[in-house]
């Protein structure tokens, strides 16, 4: 039987810690309030977290984060997770896993942010700094990053299928125009570091301000356009312009960023329109934002 997400629980983590890091075996272990999908995350005491891939396709991210996050962290203007230890398969769990220093804060939902334009500027500067780090030897975009940092054309068929499936529910012609403009905005720049999943759940705030950026599982070296998608998922108006100004990107990157945001929103609507009205409605809002921004451009 393949290992499933449901098999990863606090008792499993307790056994892994006791066997491999017995000096921490006395610490309490509890699930985090807001867990991700690629990994299951647990608190280990007050100062650490344990992160375990939930499926085989996420396992390559462990070695990547173990190798690269300690090198990136000192060069960035905000804290990021830094691994303390790497665990090995044991107790029936088949993959490598990690222990990190715990980073406090809450996900950057709109209601928790003091000033959205201020957060947009801080995030833009963080990503600008990330892109400025020497990418030599870094992991080229590929399956480990789910092609974040790679060409949008990877998701061409999936995007067009979603547009077709949603015909009558969205403006299919406008969505296709945005997508084709993104595909035509060719990338010919130098490869840079990208986070790969800049989303509210991976941005932590304290006292309303951006305090840390987490989850570099989709990080890679490649095209930075994927990291701009949050311009349409979280920001709008002044905050969107503040983000773009701090990040200092050209119109081609911005067009490809619209493509990344559109792809994700389309497959979200198509996948949840029947079973999660709130998620589908939020994705529909993103589609409308992307189309409107393209039309203004």
Does the predicted TM-score (pTM) go above 0.85?
yes
Q: Which tens digits make up the pLDDT trace of 192-231?
A: 999 999 999 999 999 999 999 999 999 999 999 999 999 9
Summarised one tens digit per residue, pLDDT across range 34-80 is: 777 789 999 999 999 999 999 999 999 999 999 999 999 999 999 99
The answer on pLDDT for 2 being more than 80 is no
Give Cβ neighbours of residue 33 (< 8 Å, ≥ 6 apart).
Answer: none
Give the tens place of pLDDT for each residue, 128-161.
Answer: 999 999 999 999 999 999 999 999 999 999 999 9
Query: Architecture of 106-296 per CATH?
Result: Alpha-Beta Complex (3.90)
pLDDT of residue 94: 95
Q: What region, left, alpha or beta, does residue 239 occupy, with left being phi > 0 and alpha being psi -120 to 50 degrees?
A: alpha
- Give residue limits of the domains in the chain: 5-101, 106-296
Q: Which CATH number fits domain 5-101: 3.30.43.10, 3.40.50.150, 3.40.50.720, 3.30.200.20?
A: 3.30.200.20
Q: How confident is the model at residue 4 (pLDDT cuts 50, 70, 90)?
A: confident
3-state per-residue secondary structure call for the chain: CCCCHHHCCHHHHHHHHHHHCHHHCCCCEEECCCCCCCEEEEEECCCEEEEEECCHHHCHHHHHHHHHHHHHHHHCCCCCCCEEEEECCECCECCCEEEEECCCCEECCHHHCCCHHHHHHHHHHHHHHHHCCCCCCCCECCHHHCCCCCCHHHHHHHHHHHHHHCECCECHHHHHHHHHHHHHCCCCCCCEEECCCCCHHHEEEECCEEEEECCCCCCEEECHHHHHCHHHHCCCHHHHHHHHHHHCCCHHHHHHHHHHHHHHHHHHHHHHCCCCHHHHHHHHHHHHHHHHHHHHC
């Amino acid at each position: 039987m393949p290992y499933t997400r449901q098999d990863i629980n606090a008792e499993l983590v307790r056994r892994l810690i006791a066997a491999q890091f017995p000096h921490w075996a006395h610490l309490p272990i509890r699930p985090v309030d807001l867990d991700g999908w690629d990994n299951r995350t647990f608190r280990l005491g007050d100062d650490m977290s344990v992160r375990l891939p939930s499926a085989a396709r996420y396992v390559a991210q462990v070695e990547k984060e173990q190798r690269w996050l300690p090198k990136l962290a000192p060069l960035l203007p905000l804290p990021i997770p830094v691994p303390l230890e790497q665990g090995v398969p044991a107790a029936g769990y088949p993959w490598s896993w990690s222990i990190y220093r715990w980073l406090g804060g809450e996900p950057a939902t709109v209601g928790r942010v003091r000033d959205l334009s201020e957060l947009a500027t801080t995030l833009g500067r963080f990503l600008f700094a990330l892109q400025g780090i020497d990418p030599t030897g870094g992991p080229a975009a590929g399956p480990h990053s789910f092609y974040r940092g790679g060409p949008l054309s990877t998701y061409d068929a999936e995007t067009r299928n979603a547009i077709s499936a949603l015909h009558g529910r969205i403006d299919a012609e406008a969505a296709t125009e945005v997508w084709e403009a993104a595909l035509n905005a060719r990338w010919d720049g130098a490869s840079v570091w990208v986070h790969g999943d800049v989303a509210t759940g991976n941005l932590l705030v304290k006292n309303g301000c951006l305090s840390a950026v987490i989850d570099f599982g989709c990080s890679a070296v490649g095209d930075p356009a994927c990291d701009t998608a949050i311009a349409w998922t979280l920001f709008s108006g002044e905050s969107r312009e503040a983000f773009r100004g701090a990040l200092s990107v050209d119109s081609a990157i911005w067009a490809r960023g619209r493509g990344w945001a559109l792809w994700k929103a389309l497959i979200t609507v198509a996948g949840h329109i029947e079973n999660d009205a709130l998620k589908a409605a939020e994705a529909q809002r993103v589609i409308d934002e992307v189309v409107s921004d393209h039309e203004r451009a």
